Amino acid sequence: MRTKVVIIGGGPSGLLLSRFLSLDGIDNIVLEKQSKSHVIGRIRAGVLESGTTKMLQKAGVSGRLNKEGFVHDGIQLSFKNHGFRIDLKKLTNKHVTVYGQTEVTKDLYEKIEKENNNIINNVDDVLPQDLDQKNPFVTFKKDGVENKIKCDFVAGCDGYHGISRQVIPQNLTKIYEKVYPFGWLGILSETPPVSDELIYANHGNGFALASMRNSNLSRYYIQTPITDKIENWTDKKFWEELKKRLPTHAADTLITGKSIEKSIAPLRSFVCEPMSWQKLFLVGDAAHIVPPTGAKGLNLAVSDVYYLYNGLKKHYLLNIDNDLKLYSQIALSRVWKAIRFSWWMTTTFHKFPEQTDFDQCIQDSELAYLENSIASQTVLAENYVGLPF
Ligand code: APR
Ligand code: PHB
């Protein structure tokens, strides 16, 4: 087999890159280790920056998003059970759209299967080789049979646990990592969301977030110690703790119900530099991880795709390689700004193990200043709706 670009990983990064390359007639094959049902079954956040929505529209996969996505012109913040609103639309003339990532992945899969059908699921032992030679290739197993695809480039869209980042010589990479000393206990409940906008709450007991998937599917999180276990949390205990942490107006109107999904996720910040080596380009979670506090994970993957797609397009259609050469530098510039914002949201809203009363007062005063400063609110709003790309 031969193709121009082998894409390792069929998550949001890989699928969106494949879609854009195919739209320009640039042959590509997506190698995904899981089944399609496994990939689209992942329950993940879905706060789409305005730039992400535009990219999905350009990719021709925004039909359902336009109908079912919830446009949010603002978000709510709270401290000491006191809530206030950040008017994203007024401050930036942009909004965010709440639309589950599962849905984004389903829409991409549907379009690609219908128009290109170049996704190979359930592959094993994917290994990009000769990336520093003239003719790189990727080997993989399908139903136990060894396969080889010759190609020009490899896009590593295989997430944090993927193979792509591992094949870069370790002495050529620098890894930056910060593991946060807590996790998020999240539940999904078939109840009306407590608010029509997201609520990020700082409380002496710890962080809480009220979000949603649709008008009768709510998503809530509370910060827990990373050593905590699901078994320690009955629904009743969760709802009681959530009410303590949310702003009063939300706690008083919260409609509780049976959880249909409950899980604890760790929080980390992670960056691999550079994001490319020879004919390999890392995209999305393969190169960087952000804590979910800033809702940046999916959106950063999309801006990586934008940069890499444009570099590959100029290579094939205009025989210009400068953008490909600058991919890592350009992508990392935006990645680090999102890493910073996600770190700031995490450190401002969470209770750290050794936190003192002084530290809590600093967090409260940071949020009190935010409530009364348009300048400070604009900084948050610009980052939340997404910096330009
Ligand atoms: N071979 C083939 N496929 C692989 C391999 C491998 N060795 N390792 C991982 N994969 C697949 C995974 O099964 C997954 O479907 O690569 C895909 C990676 O997808 P994600 O982990 O979702 O990463 P990405 O596409 O970059 O998405 C970025 O979207 O998933 C959300 O918020 C999440 O930050 C994340 C963002
Ligand atoms: C979610 O709805 O799962 C969600 C929303 C916003 C975040 C994180 C998660 O910052």
Q: What is the pLDDT of residues 301-348, one digit of tens each?
A: 999 999 999 999 999 999 999 999 999 999 999 999 999 999 999 999
d(CA 53, CA 65): 8
Ligand 1 pocket check for 98: Cβ under 6 Å: no
Q: Please tell me the distance between residue 290's alpha carbon and the centre of ligand 2 in angstroms.
A: 12
Q: Does the pLDDT at position 379 exceed 90?
A: yes
d(CA 285, CA 303): 12
Ligand closest to 156 (CA) is 1
CATH topology for 5-43+101-176+269-344? Answer: FAD/NAD(P)-binding domain (3.50.50)
Q: Does the pLDDT at position 220 exceed 90?
A: yes
d(CA 65, CA 68): 5
- In the set 296, 313, 315, 350, the catalytic residue is 296
Q: Which residues pair with 5 in a beta bridge?
A: 28, 153
* Helix, strand, coil percent content, the chain, rounded in steps of 5: 40, 30, 30
The domain locations on the chain are 5-43+101-176+269-344
Q: What is the pLDDT of residues 122-149, one digit of tens each?
A: 999 999 999 999 999 999 999 999 999 9
- Per cent of the chain over pLDDT 90 is 96
Q: Model-level pTM?
A: 0.96
d(CA 253, CA 388): 37
Q: Please tell me the distance between residue 267's alpha carbon and the centre of ligand 1 in angstroms.
A: 17
Give the pair of three-digit tokens for residue 329.
Answer: 């530098």
The kind and range of the H/E element at 239 are helix 235-245
- In the set 12, 111, 292, 315, the catalytic residue is 292
Q: What is the pLDDT of residue 291?
A: 97
DSSP category for residue 256: P
- Residue 296 bears catalytic tag: yes
Residue located nearest, by CA, to atom 9 of ligand 2: 45
DSSP category for residue 99: -
Q: Please tell me the distance between residue 146's alpha carbon and the centre of ligand 2 in angstroms.
A: 40
Q: Please tell me the distance between residue 175's alpha carbon and the centre of ligand 2 in angstroms.
A: 26
Q: What is the pLDDT of residues 17-62, one digit of tens each?
A: 999 999 999 999 999 999 999 998 877 778 999 999 999 999 999 9
The kind and range of the H/E element at 51 are helix 50-58
- Residue 200 bears catalytic tag: yes
Q: What is the pLDDT of residue 45?
A: 75
